[in-house]
Amino acid sequence: MSPLLYGLRLWLVLFTFVNFTFIMAFYAWDRVLVDKMNADVPDGEKMPIVYVWDDYAVITSSVVLFVSNAYSVFGKKPLVQNRFPRAFLMLIPKLFLLGYQLHVMHGLVRASNEYGMNQFSCSFWSEELVTVYGMRLAYFFLLLFTGFFTVVEMFVPLIKGPAYPPKDAHY
């Protein structure tokens, strides 16, 4: 693997690991917050934890990106030999992650304009929810940054050439 691509993929493993950690922390904190809110509520009125398709898809694509990028750096042999099928297979979770986060950010900006409140500020939240809201914003921006970075990583081998030298270069 070329040194440029190796260094880029090392950084990508770091970013996808941080992204994966933030996702797990965000959903764990969400669970703790809902359990805390439901502590004093009677059984019939408790608020359920509801995850929709995009929550599961973000978690799944983040796990796939972390594992595949870690294997591309630390694995002994590439799973997909040709760079074009690998780029196509990796394009699916990368573009989903990026497209979903751009949609969420557009919704936050649109809501800021419609309601006149800055959605990127924690000032209108209660004191105990400021940490959760800050983690939510970090989660959104980290997913967006990871999505852009992974798409850039996908185009580097396509532009620069194969990640691995040809077999006749080995002695």
Q: Is the pLDDT of residue 37 over 50?
A: yes
pLDDT tens-digit map of 59-117: 888 888 888 888 888 877 777 777 777 777 777 877 877 787 788 777 777 877 777 66
Q: Is the pLDDT of residue 152 over 70?
A: yes
Give the span between the Cα atoms of 109 and 111, in whole angstroms.
Answer: 5
| Sign (positive or negative) of CA dihedral 28, 31, 33, 36 | negative
pTM, 2 dp: 0.72
Provide the 10 A C-beta neighbour count for residue 21: 13
Q: Tokens in use for 112?
A: 């800021």
Q: What is the pLDDT of residue 20?
A: 87
Helix H segments across 83-168? Answer: 83-115, 130-160
State the number of CA atoms in the 13 A half-sphere of 33 facing the CB.
16
| CA angle (133, 135, 141) in 5-degree steps | 105
Q: What is the pLDDT of residue 170?
A: 44
Q: For 87, which DSSP code?
A: H
